Amino acid sequence: MQESTANQVAANATSSFTEHLQRDRPELLPFSRSLQGGASTAVPVQVPHATTIVAMSYGGGVLMAGDRRATMGNIIASRHIEKVFPADHFSVLGIAGTAGIAIDLTRLFQVELEHYEKIEGTQLSLEGKANRLGAMIRGNLPMALQGLAVVPLFAGFDTSAGVGRLFSYDVTGGRYEEHEHHTVGSGSVFARGALKKLWRPNLTAAEALSVAVESLYDAADDDSATGGPDTVRQLWPVVYTVDRTGAHRVPEADLAAASRAVIEARTVAGREA
Amino acid sequence: MTQQFYVSPEQLMKDRADFARKGIARGRSVVVISCADGIALVAENPSPSLHKVGEIYDKIAFAAVGKYNEFESLRQAGVRYADVRGYSYDREDVTARGLASVYAQSLGAVFTAEQKPFEVELAVAEVGPTQADDHLYRLTFDGSIADEHSFVVMGGQAEKVSSAIEAGWQASLGFADAVRLALKGLTPAQEGEQPAAPLPPGALEVAVLDRLSENSRGTRRAFRRLNDADITALLA
């Protein structure tokens, strides 16, 4: 009798917010909603999609940048969407794929990390955070099979190892550690080419910022679902750096300067492609 | 089969209350003080990892005395309540008032329905943009709830500590002065004796809720736990 009580208590003791929701409030999970009604039609559901996230390591940390465009088919659904979010003090998360589910997953992931920290009184390790995110993406697999996929990119500072690290995922929740740099989204093929040419080891944070802006510019140049820097509306990419001191959002003024420098250089070159 | 003796409800409740009070009186005290910089939570606690003071949400902290396993389960339930509420509505919809009333209901239910009441006393503190917006709720083992303004003292020598703090409390206190005042209260001079030596940082647990955490630390999470070095620096 006593043993079964102890077992029960142990089984109920979870530090995971997602597990708590799964048990007590499953309807609140972004990926537990059933799409049975009409979703089996051949036409994919028309919802906003977010595209092109780039991330790279630099001397002392990691940097992640995302453009500001969300599309719905051939329509621009939003010019202001943010696709890079701070996950906690030492990590950031970028999302590509179905915007609505991705934003909900991000929110859930943020609460998950904070919840663990409050219950346990200590932060989850970077590996632990990366694995939790993988489990959430796997939870979304049924939705992904119906066309509502979310593909995140995760970057953080590993405080025990003292280095910045990057993780990419597939829709089944597979987690892959990336070295140097990585990019996701429909414009990623173009951004990747730019990164391969511009990235080198031990960039400074300022150099990494201009590499990120330049590769997003290349993605926007060739991918209609990626938005370039918008000088009319004063819209620049959203960029976060994570280093020993934590995650910081790069200020608008620095982004404006970096974006204008790229536009200036391209204008001077005046080349077609 | 043995016949159950009749016990009047009055006697039953009185026995339960006496039992819970005895349990709480054995523990050391915790002080929660509202001051100009925010809210300071100070506990006499030699353990560096078994906390009596904890974070619940952005602006809300928790302090408790009594049986560790009982108040720890209440703290975790509070974190779950706050996180679910903040996730399903919005972060600003999580309030100390809501949390305190959930605690009051659970403590009340345990006190009347369970075999044994919880031997705990809790404080729920929420820091506001101005001192007038601070909320301090004190909850006792039977589910009674009280709304305090300046400070809350719980635990063993609550009356003694409370009178010492009442004498020194002012709205304009900073964190350093508030913690000093709490320490003065936690080590009351025995009658006719020299004032007791102040507690070393290692025997203390101190946390604060920063009133302006958005400006000073760039985070909406106002709770900050002070380690021994921080406490020494604060009191220097």
The closest of B169, B168, B100, B180 to B136, measured between CA atoms, is: B100
Q: Are A121 and B79 in contact (CB < 8 Å)?
A: no
Handedness of CA A37, A39, A41, A45 (dihedral sign): positive
Q: Tell me how far apart the alpha carbons of residues B39 and B48 are, in angstroms, rounded to a whole number.
A: 21
Q: What is the pLDDT along chain A (273 residues), one digit of tens a residue?
A: 556 777 777 777 788 998 889 888 888 888 876 655 555 555 566 777 878 999 999 999 999 999 999 999 889 999 999 999 999 999 999 999 998 899 999 999 999 999 999 999 899 999 999 999 999 999 988 888 888 889 999 999 999 999 999 999 999 989 999 999 999 999 999 999 999 999 999 999 999 999 999 999 999 999 999 999 999 999 999 999 999 999 999 999 999 999 999 999 999 998 887
**Nearest beta carbon to residue A118 from set B79, B87, B88:** B79
pTM of the model: 0.91
- Lowest mean per-residue pLDDT among A49-63, A87-101, B1-15, B84-98: B1-15
Helices (H), chain A: 2-12, 17-24, 36-39, 99-120, 126-139, 141-145, 188-198, 205-222, 252-269
The confidence band for B168, taking pLDDT boundaries of 50, 70 and 90, is confident
The kind and range of the H/E element at A98 are strand A91-98
| A200-217 tens-digit pLDDT | 999 999 999 999 999 999
Mutate which: B57, B68, B84, B217, vs A, most A CBs within 10 A: B84
Phi first, then psi: give them for residue B101, nearest 5 degrees.
-75, -30
Instruction: Write the DSSP string, B205-225.
Output: EEEEEETTHHHHTS-S--EEE
Q: Tell me how far apart the alpha carbons of residues A252 and A217 are, in angstroms, rounded to a whole number.
A: 17
**Contact residues, chain A, for B56 at CB < 8 Å:** 118
A41 in catalytic set: no
**Contact residues, chain B, for A20 at CB < 8 Å:** 80, 84
Residue type, A162: G
Mutate which: B83, B93, B225, vs A, most A CBs within 10 A: B83
Q: Tell me how far apart the alpha carbons of residues A172 and A179 are, in angstroms, rounded to a whole number.
A: 21
